[in-house]
Amino acid sequence: ARDAERSGIVVIGLGRFGSHLADSLIRQHHQVLAIDRDAAPVQRWSDQLDRVVQADATQEGVLRQLGLADMERAVVAIGDSVEASVLTVLALVELGVPQIWARATSNKHAKILSSVGAHHVIFPEQETGERVAHLIVSKMLDFVEFGDDFAIAKVLAPPSMTGRPLGELRPADRYGVRVVGVKLPNERYRYATDATVPVAGSMLIVEGSIDGVQRFAALS
Ligand code: ADP
């Protein structure tokens, strides 16, 4: 039952965000039920998705008929209509879906979604905007922020961090960041140990404060 629960995910709204999300879930071998109000996206996705249904998701009765009361997870990916998004979340709450993820397109939208009972609110435009802003102005090649001023970044190994084992280079003492992964040129990522010797062209995965990883990246 656990696996069946895990694999059943409903994605509501097959716009740009919802369709990419559904596509990624399928690539991860989850069973996806997709719902959209319009015929065009339903037709477009009918080959790729196991089940695509044309329906108005704001109607609790319709969702019940589609079996949503028994599903473990739902994602409301409707973006531009705040009303449709909120009403859909309400219907899912009424049906008792245990994990409701909802997409917000503004801060107020996000607040409303939380207050009507969405368990997870995602704000892709804001999150991506913030992340890309960090990438553009720094030398980080990738960046994830976890809150409480903690982040992980991918950076090219700075010259001061090559040619000797990390145990001697001591990045934590010198720069306040910990190197957790290293990819030597033409190799795969490996866990970093004290014995790891980064060379020029190595990629490092570092963790620490946002400022810390940014300053470390600036050395590269
Ligand atoms: P994106 O920015 O990801 O393209 P949109 O808001 O443009 O997102 O698209 C959201 C999708 O949600 C559209 O395909 C739209 O038809 C669908 N949608 C909107 N309202 C409902 C509803 N009440 N029930 C089901 N699908 C809906």
How does pLDDT run across 103-143, given as a tens digit for each residue? 999 999 999 999 999 999 999 999 999 999 999 999 999 99
Question: pTM, whole model, 2 decimals?
Answer: 0.86
Domain range list for the chain: 2-122, 128-218
Bridge partners for 91 per DSSP: none
Tell which one of 58, 80, 103, 109 to mutate to probe ligand 1, the residue whose CB is within 8 A of the most ligand atoms: 80
CATH code 3.40.50.2300 for 2-122 = no
Which ranges of the chain have pLDDT less than 50? 1-7
Q: CA-to-CA distance for 207 and 144, rounded, in angstroms?
A: 10
Would you state the structure tokens that stand for residue 7, as one six-digit string? 């694999």
Query: What dotted CATH number matches 128-218?
Result: 3.30.70.1450
10 Å CB burial of residue 56 (0-12, 13-18, 19+) is middle
pLDDT for 6 = 42
Ligand 1 atom nearest 87 alpha carbon: 23
**9, 62, 52: which is closest to 31 by C-alpha?**
9
- ipTM of model: 0.97
Distance 162 CA to ligand 1 centre (A): 50
What residues flank ligand 1, with Cβ below 6 Å? 12-18, 35-38, 41, 56-58, 78-81, 84
